[in-house]
Structure 1
Amino acid sequence: MNTKFLFSFLIVSSLFISCDDDILDLPPEDQLTTDQFFNTAKDLEVATNDFYTMLPTTGTYTDDSSSDNIMSLTPAARIRGGRIVPTERGSGGWNWSRLRDINFFLQHYKQVESLDAQKHYGGIARFFRAYFYFDKVMRFGDVPWYGEVLEAGDEGLYKARDSRVLVMDSIMADIDYAIENIPAEVELNRITKYTAQILKARIALFEGTFRKYHGISGGEDFLEEAANTAEDLMSSGAYSLYTVGGPDEAYRGLFSRNNQDAVETILARDFDQELETHNLGYLMTAPTMGGWGMMKDAANSYLMADGTPFTDIAGYQTMGFYDEMQNRDPRLTQTTAGPGFTVLGSDDPEPVSLESSTTGYRIIKALPDRSQWSSAYFDVIIFRYAEALLIYAEAKAELGNLTQSDLDISINLLRDRVGMPHLNMAQANANPDPYQESFYKNVDQGANKGVILEIRRERRIELFNEGLRWEDLMRWKEGKKLEQPMLGIYFPSLGAHDFDNDGIADVYLHQGDPSGAPEGITTFINVLQRPLTQGTSGNMDPFSDGGEFDEAKDYYYPIPIEDLQLNKQLEQNPKWEH
């Protein structure tokens, strides 16, 4: 039976069932909750189980389609510059109901006599409060801090926003409590000390770099916390990188297998064919659904197999698909379908198909076997060890105290997994990659600029399609990256093209009349419907209108109008007033 994420209301309701004939003799439900429920360790476990529903599920593998990593059939509002001020109270992310649930628990959990139970489940509740507030700060900046349950009519409900400093200090206090008090166990589907460590490291890196690049004081302290916490997790020996299948299979296999294990995966959402399924397989394969396509500049960022930049090659901009996929970082063709791509569980190459991809670079990271393309049940990774390695290296580099030894125990382990040459700090700093620098106009211009750019490259590649890219651009103050062209595969002309280099054309481009296509074509593209940048040649251009990002307002989300009307002490985020 799937026991990972239990819905506590189902369990709690079973506790209320009585054998007595007269159910009306039972005390009120709220009295049961406080006086009769918070009394044993099991009660606390049941109560905290519901908090797990706050964690992301399939959204982990769909959020990048609202960034510069992946283009979907319908460009997201936040990359179009189309976000609007929501009207309805509690909408647009400004919802506090789950916080009340957490604070209610923290108000009553010490009724349990067991100090071990208090520490364990109190730590879990604080983990989720830190998680809840971290999301709020990322979206809105300053927010009201509520550390206790408030009832209707309480004046505190209508307080002004507290400072980012107070809220972030409170978040860090909560996550530190969680680390100190939740047992250090390796549990794939439960919150443990290690889950709290990876969350703290993520929070601290975000806040440290956000403050550094947005001109807010205190960033160094958070970067120190990020590096130290990531190092603690690394030193624990609890996790390592998943390497089954070797350089040509391990990275893809980590995500596409049905059942995760606790080698690299710190926390996963468990799915089961009989109990709970999801639609990711359908989104990734149905032409009328997600249509996800990797952006050209993301594909360009994967290094050559010898560790040199692909973009150093003369004419890389107009290189054909087959040629650009040769001798690259193996993660490229374990993330997007390359020549000779085979579906998981099959030995036969899949016919070339660009119909389910807006850019032609079809996403295969986490693509399951064909039996799950309509209803999938493979597990979804929420936190994994590789992120700790990336956090450690980035925090040290931003602080200015990164060494080659630090890279060797972090970034270079990720490269070892796929058989790539090591990142050399001195070489990176001596020769910053101009292509990467073109993405990040605000990057630190000091002695570590080159290696910071390489760590950002590594992070984009390693964590591609894991839902972190938008937050990365926001914390680096690189929203304007969204205004750069979001393009796909290059075609030199209309007509037939051989994507597998087997002498048989696979793709045929036309202007409404495909009648001249040779036999064997598996993908037809009408450029009148799926345009190229230069009409009859150029890159696929699924977002010809281009992105729009307002530096004055778009790093934050707006607060709903009704909430501003109900609480006159709230102020709207800058430039969202109208």
Structure 2
Amino acid sequence: MKNFKIIVSIVILLTATSCEKNFLDRAPGVALSEEKVFSDPVLASQFANNAYNFLVDDYARFNNHRGTTSQASDEAVSGNTDVSIRTLNQGLFHDHYERGGSALNDIGGIWERAYAGIRITNVMLGKMSTVPWTPNQDPTRIEGEMKFIRAFLYFELIKRFGGVPIVDKALEITDNADLPRNTYQECVDFIVADLDQAITNLPPSYDNASYGRATSRAAMALKSRVLLYAASALHNTSNDLNKWKAAADAAKALMDLNAFTLHPTYSEIMNVAESPEYIMIKIRGPRAIDGMLLDFIMSPGSGGAQGSMNPTQNHVDMYEMQLTGKPITDATSGYNPANPYAGRDPRFYANILYNDAPWQGRRMQMWNNGNDFRENNIIYTATRYYCRKMWPEVYTRNTTARALFNYIFFRYAEVLLNYAEAQNEFLAAPDNTVYNAINTIRARVSMPNLPLGLTKAQMREAIRHERAVELAFEDFRWYDIMRWKIGVEVINKPVMGMNVVRNSNGSFTYNPIVLPSIYQRTFADYMHLYPIPRTEIFKSKGVLTQNPGWE
């Protein structure tokens, strides 16, 4: 007889002012038999709810909370060169999961977590017809949730590894578990089929008690993302325009519902309980200061143990001048290198903490021996920047104030960006719908519209720039670089920081600098896909094949 660990759900109403909790808040697990679980509709629905716990649902997840994908990309560095990041930066991807610290790493950890969650969805889908459902449950919705979660977990796998084995049922102990990899396209087709079923089964929205569950609109957003990745260079080597059209159509279908708008204030996007922009978020209460905030995000100048989430100068330089809408490399942009932080895209001030920035009733001090920087001291920033987007201002060591910091699965700005990219790639030249999607995002922060008459290639660069700025530090940039297949070009560029000198008269002198070699990266073309964990290759007795370059 089989036993399952049942996670008991507690439903607590969500309000904007209370301590947010949700249908996944967990009480202690109880070991119950399969017969007991699926003969009781309440236990069966709780078993299904447990599948949500296997989704990737936080940004700082490497080595407990000490690394993000931003630090693998050109967005940021790990100031203390945490092993989980250092192994990725050095191209030692096998070492990332074999000696990169505690879960959740981005290779072996994701592989195990995703397939564990997929098993739960497969078990639940296989038992749907045997559960004596009552009017208090909604089996159609539960089936849709399982299809959505299974699709989401398979997407997390294929965006990292390419084609993976498709397991569409719960394997018994006598079944052969040594399965070969399906092709990437087979996986995409399987995911899309699950999502189409989820779109049919799921409601468009929920009341507050179930806020955070998968909806038909979340399934549409995921479909948009899946098809965008499938159309991109890494897996669309022939540049099949039909794939771009499918991706554009998927995003447009969600846009045409007119169900979402951009949140009015960009700087609040991570920190509100509800937003007209949110399509699906991870519901959790205000963050405790211990862990990610105290031990990863916060400057020692505010009481942080180590502030190692440090944006790069490479990323900072992406923020255009607000008045002209031009990059700082343009001589007519209005940029002044002696006053580098004045007049920038307002998203810069929402995302980055820089020298002399107003913060917590003081100003950031990024010069040597200032409150926020000490030379050759790894608990301080390596770049002279901290990540404002991940650090709600209320958090200092000696305060009891708390704030929300959400993990956003899908927000409307991403859908607009997905549409603009796919539509631009499908057309011979960008049309008004492409401009409108990007200009809508820029208008929120009072940035000028894109100039008219851009070529397809120019618009491509504008869209990629807009994604880098709008979605900064939200777990997109690293995977965008991978799917665009531009890692060799982007990741191998010198990683830069800013040298800040405080002059005797109180003014500052700024000079961009190349960071020490420990922060520089190595990236080869084969690294656009992760290696399959070696333990999985060995267990399969040669049935599971390794990605090229990682043998």
Deviates more, 1:267-276 or 1:98-107: 267-276
Deviation at residue 167 of structure 1 after TM alignment: 1.3
Match of 1:57 in 2: 57
Q: Offset of 1:136 from its aligned partner?
A: 1.2
- Following TM superposition, by how much is the alpha carbon of 1:292 offset from its aligned partner in structure 2, in angstroms? 2.1
Cα pair distance change 1:150/1:379, threshold 3 Å: same
Which range moved further: 408-417 or 271-280? 271-280
Verify: 1:310 aligned to 2:328, yes or no: yes
Whether 1:297 and 2:317 are equivalent positions in the alignment is no
Distance in 2 of aligned mates of 1:562 and 1:339: 46
Matched AA of 1:504:
G
Per-residue CA shift, 1:101-124, capped at 9, x if unaligned?
110001012335579923211111
Residue of structure 1 equivalent to 2:47: 47
Q: Is the 8 A contact 2:325 2:333 kept in 1?
A: no
Q: Which runs of 5+ in 2 are unaligned?
A: 1-11, 13-19, 62-67, 100-106, 374-379
Residue 491 of structure 2 is aligned to residue 482 of structure 1: yes
Shifted more, 260-269 versus 350-359: the winner is 350-359
Q: 1:559 to 1:348 in 2, by over 3 A?
A: closer
Question: Are the structure 2 counterparts of residues 562 and 332 from structure 1 closer, same or farther at C-alpha, using a change threshold of 3 Å?
Answer: closer
Instruction: Check the 8 A contact 1:488/1:539 in 2, yes or no.
Output: yes
Contact 1:140 1:556 in 2 (8 A): yes
User: Given that residues 242 and 426 in structure 2 are in contact (C-alpha distance below 8 angstroms), is that contact kept between their aligned partners in structure 1?
Assistant: no
CA distance in 2, matches of 1:224, 1:454: 20
- Listed one character per residue, the Cα deviations across residues 169-205 of structure 1 (whole Å, up to 9, x for unaligned) are 1011011111121001156422111111111111111
Contact 2:491 2:521 in 1 (8 A): yes
Contact 2:443–2:449, Cα closer than 8 Å, also in 1? yes
Tell me by how many angstroms 1:487 deviates. Answer: 0.5
Aligned to 1:6: 24
Q: Output one character per residue of 1:273-309: Cα deviation in whole Å (capped at 9) or x when no partner.
A: 5999863355211445342222222211211111122
Q: Distance in 1 between matches of 2:191 and 2:353?
A: 41
Could you give the per-residue CA deviations for residues 191-246 of structure 1, whole angstroms, max 9, x where no partner exists?
1111111111111111111456x5157x5343223212221222222211111xxx
Structure 1 unaligned blocks of 5 or more:
17-27, 244-249, 430-447, 510-536
Q: Partner of 1:309: helix, strand, or coil?
A: coil
Report the aligned-residue RMSD. 3.2
Are 1:59 and 1:467, in contact at CA under 8 Å, matched by a contact in 2? yes
* Structure 1 CA distance for aligned equivalents of residues 21 and 519 of structure 2: 47
| C-alpha distance in structure 2 between counterparts of 1:338 and 1:173, whole Å | 46
Partner residue of 2:5? none
Q: 1:122 aligns with which of 143, 159, 163?
A: 143
1:68 matched to 2:57? The reply is no
Report 1:403-482 matches (<5 A).
403-426=430-453, 428-429=454-455, 448-480=456-488, 481-482=490-491
Number of aligned residue pairs: give it. Answer: 488
Indicate the SS of the match to 1:195.
Answer: helix
TM-score by length of structure 1 reads 0.76
| In structure 2, distance between residues paired with 1:171 and 1:234 | 21
Find 1:558's aligned residue among 525, 531, 534.
531
Question: Is 1:396 aligned with 2:418?
Answer: no
Which residue number in structure 2 is paired with residue 82 of structure 1?
A: 92
TM-score by length of 2: 0.80
Quote the Cα distance in structure 2 between the aligned partners of 1:99 and 1:565.
21
**Contact 1:412–1:423 (CA<8 Å) still a contact in 2?**
yes
1:151 to 172, 183, 187: 172
Higher strand share: 2
Pair 1:29 & 2:33 matched: yes
Indicate if the aligned counterparts of 2:496 and 2:512 stay in contact, CA closer than 8 A: no
Q: Deviations over 1:306-356 (max 9, x none)?
A: 112211128999923xx121222111122112465233xx55545555424
2:146 and 2:289 map into 1 onto residues whose CA distance is 25
Letter in 2 for 1:195: A
For residues 87 and 422 of structure 1, the distance between their equivalents in structure 2, rounded to whole angstroms, comes to 47
Contact 1:210 1:474 in 2 (8 A): no
Find the residue that maps to 1:293 and give its secondary structure: strand
CA–CA distance in 1 between the matches of 2:388 and 2:269? Answer: 12
Deviation at 1:7, TM superposition (A): 5.1
The answer to whether the 8 Å contact 2:94/2:533 transfers is: no
Paired position in structure 1 for 2:349? 333
Partner Cα separation in structure 1 for residue 198 and residue 37 of structure 2: 24
User: What residue in structure 1 maps to residue 522 of structure 2?
Assistant: 548
| Distance of aligned partners of 1:270 and 1:497 in 2 relative to their CA distance in 1, 3 Å threshold | farther
Aligned to 1:361: 385
Corresponding residue for 2:202? 182
1:421 counterpart letter in structure 2 = P
- Contact kept? 1:482, 1:547, Cα under 8 Å: yes
Checking the alignment, whether the CA contact within 8 Å between 2:145 and 2:202 is kept in structure 1 is: yes
- Contact 1:277/1:377 (<8 A) preserved: no
Deviation at 1:265, TM superposition (A): 1.8
Aligned to 2:104: none
Equivalent position to 1:251, from 244, 266, 270: 266
Report the Cα offset of residue 60 of structure 1: 6.1
CA–CA separation in structure 2 for the residues paired with 1:124 and 1:216: 34
Query: What residue in structure 2 maps to residue 436 of structure 1?
Result: none
1:387 corresponds, among 414, 429, 435, to 414
Distance 2:540 2:197 in 1: 32
Give the one of 209, 222, 231 matched to 1:199: 222
Question: In structure 2, how many angstroms separate the alpha carbons of the residues matched to 1:366 and 1:103?
Answer: 35
**Cα distance 1:541–1:339, how it changes in 2: closer, same or farther (>3 A)?**
closer
Give the corresponding residue for 1:513.
Answer: none
Distance 1:231 1:328 in 2: 31
Of 122, 131, 138, which residue of structure 2 is paired with 1:103? 122
Question: Which amino acid is 2:320 matched to?
Answer: L
* 1:260 alignment partner, one of 256, 273, 281: 273
- DSSP-derived class of the 1:84 partner: helix
Q: Secondary structure at the match of 2:279?
A: strand
1:260 CA displacement: 2.2
In 2, distance between residues paired with 1:105 and 1:137? 23
- Secondary structure in 2 aligned to 1:252? helix
C-alpha separation between the residues in 1 aligned to 2:193 and 2:309? 39
CA change 1:386–1:402 in 2 (3 A) is: farther
2:331 maps to a residue whose letter is I
**Is 1:236 the counterpart of 2:257 in the alignment?**
yes
The separation in 2 between residues aligned to 1:545 and 1:183, in whole angstroms, is 47
Partners of 1:274 and 1:477 lie apart in 2 by 36
Distance 1:184-1:203 versus aligned 2 partners, 3 A rule: same
- Could you tell me whether the CA contact under 8 Å between 1:407 and 1:423 is conserved in 2? no
Specify which of 167, 176, 184 is matched with residue 164 of structure 1: 184
Give 1:538 shift: 5.2
- In the alignment, the residues of structure 1 paired with residue 49 and residue 291 of structure 2 have an alpha-carbon distance, to the nearest angstrom, of 21
Aligned to 2:110: 93
Q: Could you tell me whether the CA contact under 8 Å between 1:8 and 1:49 is conserved in 2?
A: no
In 1, are the aligned partners of 2:420 and 2:435 still within 8 Å (CA)? no
Shift of 1:410: 1.3
